[in-house]
């Protein structure tokens, strides 16, 4: 990772938009600070498209896509897309309804297994707003030790599901998309972007393990300073790193992007 000050302005000039993670990237311990929200508006006012790319539920994405100056949200770690559509939203569950229903049944079985095998595990408090995945709280309201988190991950993998984790949750899903493939699919369907070109025309900002796919796929990648605590979960770190953490770091990155325009 190189400091933000070393980003060359030429590489930022051709940007079409910015993809950003929510928890501990734009949000600071769950809170949208004035600095972060102002940074989002500044990017929007400069003509950049904005898409949230998050492990949070599609139900959260519906609210964000209606209320924030963004084009939509790639939610549940890539699986479910919420697209701003006039004053409303359209939702893409990423599959045929019958397939989605089958995957949901398999997830319900997995939830029961984890409850039996890892009684210490608690579901995240946002699971009711999810369509395609399930999440257990590891660092939001609850703080789980690494052994318990590993035990949950073991049950997820044993059930044939995929797992990923953010700073707050560990997720399980039977969907195919990760944050990167989901984001590229969103950009192709919403903006007609060529998948290869999109990787160079959109920047990504994130902080933790479930951002690994995007840090590896996109060429202009930024981490907020707290990404340093999650480097072991990243096969590739972000190219550039802010000096500040969370929402303050996001505002710092946004200012750098805007300074090149």
Phi then psi dihedrals of residue 3, to 5 deg: -65, 150
Tell me the residue ranges of DSSP E strands in 101-206.
Answer: 133-137, 162-165, 169-173, 202-206
Query: Based on C-alpha coordinates, what's the Rg of the chain?
Result: 18
CA 176 to chain centre: 15
Are the C-beta atoms of 122 and 136 separated by less than 8 Å?
yes
Q: Which stretch binds Mg ion (CB under 5 A): 24-32, 43-51, 80-88, 114-122?
A: 24-32
| Binding residues for Mg ion restricted to 157-186, rule: CB under 5 A | 166
Q: How far is the CB of 24 from Mg ion (least distance, A)?
A: 5
Query: Among 15-23, 31-39, 151-159, 232-240, which window interacts with Mg ion (CB under 5 A)?
Result: 15-23
Bridge partners, 81 (sequence order): 74, 92
Shortest Cβ 9–Mg ion spacing (Å): 27
State in angstroms the smallest separation of the CB of 210 from Mg ion. 7
Size of the site for Mg ion (CB under 5 A): 7
Please give the structure tokens belonging to residue 3: 């400091």
Interaction of residue 207 with Mg ion, rule CB under 5 A:
yes
Shortest CA distance to 161 belongs to which of 114, 226, 216?
Answer: 114
* Segment interacting with Mg ion (CB under 5 A) among 7-15, 31-39, 93-101, 205-213: 205-213
Candidate list 17, 24, 124, 240; residue touching Mg ion; CB under 5 A: 24
Site string for Mg ion, 72-111 (x = CB under 5 A): ----------------------------------------
Chosen residue from 1, 19, 20, 21 binding Mg ion by CB under 5 A: 21
Q: How far is the CB of 209 from Mg ion (least distance, A)?
A: 9
**How far, CA to CA in Å, does 106 sit from each of 133, 155, 177?**
10, 13, 17
Query: What does the alpha-carbon distance between residue 4 and residue 170 come to, in Å, rounded to a whole number?
Result: 29
Map residues 25-44 to x or -, x wherever contact with Mg ion holds by CB under 5 A. x-------------------
In three-state secondary structure terms, 199 is helix
CB 55 within 8 A of CB 169: yes
Cβ of residue 213: shortest distance to Mg ion, in angstroms? 13
Do the beta carbons of residue 235 and residue 190 sit within 8 Å? Answer: no
Among 23, 76, 137, 140, binds Mg ion (CB under 5 A): 23
Nearer to Mg ion, 163 or 166 (CB): 166
> Can you say whether the dihedral through the CA atoms of 12, 73, 30, 42 is positive or negative?
positive
Which residue in 75, 148, 163, 208 binds Mg ion (CB under 5 A)?
A: 208
Closest CB to Mg ion among residues 72, 249: 249
Q: Which stretch binds Mg ion (CB under 5 A): 89-97, 116-124, 207-215, 249-257?
A: 207-215
CA dist., res. 213 & res. 234, Å (int): 8
Query: What is the contact surface with Mg ion in residues (CB under 5 A)?
Result: 21, 23-25, 166, 207-208
């Amino acid at each position: 990772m190189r400091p933000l000050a070393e980003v060359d302005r030429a590489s930022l000039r051709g940007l079409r938009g910015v993809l950003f993670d929510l928890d501990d990237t734009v949000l600071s311990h769950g809170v949208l600070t004035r600095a972060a929200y102002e940074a989002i508006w500044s990017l929007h006012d400069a003509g950049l498209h904005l898409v949230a790319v998050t492990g949070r539920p599609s139900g959260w994405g519906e609210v964000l896509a209606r209320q924030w100056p963004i084009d939509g949200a790639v939610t549940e770690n890539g699986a479910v897309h919420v697209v701003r559509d006039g004053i409303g939203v359209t939702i893409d569950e990423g599959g045929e309804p019958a397939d989605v229903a089958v995957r949901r049944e398999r997830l319900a079985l997995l939830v029961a297994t984890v409850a039996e095998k890892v009684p210490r595990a608690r579901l995240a408090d946002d699971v009711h707003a999810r369509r395609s995945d399930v999440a257990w709280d590891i660092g939001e309201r609850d703080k789980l030790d690494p052994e318990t988190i590993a035990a949950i991950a073991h049950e997820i993998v044993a059930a044939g599901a995929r797992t990923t984790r953010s700073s707050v949750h560990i997720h399980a899903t039977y969907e195919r998309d990760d944050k990167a493939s989901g984001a590229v699919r969103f950009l192709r369907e919403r903006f007609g972007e060529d998948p290869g070109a999109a990787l160079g025309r959109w920047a990504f900002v994130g902080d933790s393990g479930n951002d690994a796919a995007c840090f590896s796929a996109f060429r202009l990648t930024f981490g907020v300073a707290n990404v340093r605590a999650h480097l072991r979960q990243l096969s590739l770190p972000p190219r550039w790193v802010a000096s500040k953490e969370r929402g303050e770091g996001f505002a710092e990155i946004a200012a750098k992007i805007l300074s090149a325009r």
